[in-house]
């Protein structure tokens, strides 16, 4: 949580400077790497490294996905609040159903 909090501003700067798509791509790379590090070795340093990779990935994704979605909805002539609401509802449902199988 501390890493994610500390990384919010620098990753937001990168998203503003290079674009949201770049930020999402970098976040996706980190979020793909962290489970691989978890699975690699069952030792504390690898656990800490994996958690850090996850925090970096989530910080890069934070806000960039919703911002890109709102921008695309406006360009398509859709009401951005409705699109964003559906997106957030889908995320909530997918998290709920993944934990309640």
Quick: pLDDT tens for 54-90: 999 988 888 787 788 888 888 888 887 888 888 777 7
DSSP states along 70-91: HHHHHHTT--HHHHHHHHHHHH
pLDDT band at 53 (very low <50, low <70, confident <90, very high): very high
pLDDT band at 92 (very low <50, low <70, confident <90, very high): low
Of 69, 66, 59, 52, the closest CA to residue 13 belongs to 59
Check pLDDT > 80 for residue 98: no
Check pLDDT > 70 for residue 52: yes
Instruction: Say how many residues make up the chain.
Output: 101
Q: Structure pTM? A: 0.73
d(CA 30, CA 70): 24
Mean pLDDT over 29-48 rounds to 90
Instruction: Give the per-residue pLDDT at 4.
Output: 76
CB of 5 closer than 8 Å to CB of 54: no
């Amino acid at each position: 949580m501390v890493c994610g909090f500390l990384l919010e501003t620098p990753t937001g700067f990168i998203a503003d400077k290079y674009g949201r798509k770049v930020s999402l791509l970098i976040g996706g790379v980190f979020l793909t790497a962290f489970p691989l590090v978890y699975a690699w070795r069952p030792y504390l340093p690898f656990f800490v490294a994996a958690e850090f990779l996850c925090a970096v990935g989530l910080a890069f994704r934070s806000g960039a996905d919703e911002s890109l979605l709102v921008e695309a909805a406006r360009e398509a002539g859709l009401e951005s609040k409705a699109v964003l609401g559906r997106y957030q509802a889908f995320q909530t449902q997918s998290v709920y159903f993944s934990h309640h199988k």
